[in-house]
Amino acid sequence: MPEGHTIHRLAKAHRALLGGAVVRASSPQGRFTDGAALIDGSTLTGTDAVGKHLFHHYADGPAGPKVLHVHLGLYGKFTSSTVPPPQPRGALRLRLITDDHWLDLRGPTACEVITTGERDAIVDRLGPDPLRRGADREKAAARIARSRAPIAGLLMDQKVLAGVGNVYRAEVLFRHQLDPYQAGRDLPESAWDAVWDDLCTLMRAGVRSGRIITTEREHRPARNYVYRRAGAPCLVCGTEIRVELLSGRTLFWCPSCQAP
DNA sequence: TCTGCATGAAAAA
DNA sequence: TTTTCCTGCAGAG
């Protein structure tokens, strides 16, 4: 379930699992053999998540400090446990092993070893991440305020806002009764402030639980209001939830609660 | 067994 | 705006 909360959760887990340890790295699948060799035998000094990007920081080697950059994309997945690791099976891009634990990575969109400078360049291209302390919501507000694009598109644009994916965008729009097609620049600043604060709350809860739960108590046990509920009655007003493609992604919304 | 779909994003056009 | 890439799984047959 890779939206930002998943990545921040992984960063914490990997720090606990591998932090401070010397790591043996390999690519049983063979697609990342050269990259694995670059970090093999290095010490993992820390981890870091920005939006949907995960970074492992490895201690200074002969070639300087190295950063492992992973983006899970739609399909990527990590699995881990205590040693010994199972026999590698299928397309296993990267396996990391310490004295105590192993960590496997499959199907990522990005898996590369980069410099700290390249890491900073990636972060610079991203908008503020609601899950990071000190994230500048005004920076996102400014972009939204001068955009004619629909707010539903802007919320998913990682240059505007980092970490929000298809579930959070649909749910936060519903929770604030916002028309998905409303242009960013027509969104009152107070509405944006409320959306940002809500994202901070929802996504932090997501980091804690590992799930995206966006319903209020009175609407449980349903976990979400609109996401993947096309054709079902709105939990608030009973209107059929609608689904449509917006810039190539499925958008779910309630045409009544979120009327223009 | 086969098909379609998925919480993503970059490249091509 | 469309295509492409990466993998796994549920549901259909």
CA–C1' gap, A247 and C1, in angstroms = 8
Nucleotide nearest to A252 (CA to C1'): B7
Residues 60-119 of A with CB under 7 A from strand C: 73-75, 77, 90-91, 93, 106-107, 109
* Cα Rg of chain A (Å, integer): 20
Q: Would you call A43 helix, strand, or coil by DSSP?
A: strand
User: Is A118 among the residues known to form the active site?
Assistant: no
Could you identify the residue whose CA is nearest to the C1' atom of nucleotide B10? Answer: A109
User: Is A52 among the residues known to form the active site?
Assistant: yes
Mean pLDDT of all residues in A114-136: 95
CB-based contacts of A26, cutoff 8 Å, min separation 6 = A33, A36, A40, A94, A95, A97
Contact present, A230 and A237 (Cβ < 8 Å): no
CA–C1' gap, A157 and B12, in angstroms = 20
Mean pLDDT of all residues in A155-167: 96
Q: What angle do CA A238, A242, A246 make, to 5 degrees?
A: 150
pTM of the model: 0.96
Q: What pLDDT, on a 0 to 100 scale, did the predictor assign at position A90? A: 86
Q: A197 φ, ψ to 5°?
A: -60, -40
Report the distance separating Cα A149 and Cα A70, nearest Å.
29
CB-based contacts of A78, cutoff 8 Å, min separation 6 = A10, A14, A72, A103, A104, A105
Mean pLDDT of all residues in A125-149: 96
Q: What pLDDT, on a 0 to 100 scale, did the predictor assign at position A64? A: 74
Report the distance separating Cα A6 and Cα A196, nearest Å.
18
User: Is A28 among the residues known to form the active site?
Assistant: no
pLDDT confidence band for A234 (50 / 70 / 90): very high
Mean pLDDT of all residues in A136-162: 96
Is A198 a residue whose pLDDT tops 80?
yes
Contact present, A135 and A129 (Cβ < 8 Å): yes
Q: What pLDDT, on a 0 to 100 scale, did the predictor assign at position A89? A: 86
Nucleotide nearest to A169 (CA to C1'): B7
Angstrom distances, CA of residue A58 to CA of A13, A46, A113, A116, A164? 16, 7, 10, 10, 28
Q: Name which of A27, A62, A28 is nearest A42 in CA terms.
A: A62
Q: What pLDDT, on a 0 to 100 scale, did the predictor assign at position A1? A: 60
pLDDT confidence band for A247 (50 / 70 / 90): confident
Angstrom distances, CA of residue A86 to CA of A82, A92, A94, A174, A214? 10, 12, 13, 43, 36
Is A140 a residue whose pLDDT tops 90?
yes
pLDDT confidence band for A62 (50 / 70 / 90): low
Q: What pLDDT, on a 0 to 100 scale, did the predictor assign at position A172? A: 97
User: Is A3 among the residues known to form the active site?
Assistant: yes
Q: Which nucleotides of C are covered by protein (CB under 7 A)?
A: 1-3, 5-8
The percent of residues in chain A predicted with pLDDT above 90, rounded, is 94
pLDDT confidence band for A137 (50 / 70 / 90): very high
Q: What pLDDT, on a 0 to 100 scale, did the predictor assign at position A49? A: 97
Q: What pLDDT, on a 0 to 100 scale, did the predictor assign at position A79? A: 94
Q: Name which of A49, A42, A47, A44 is nearest A4 in CA terms.
A: A49
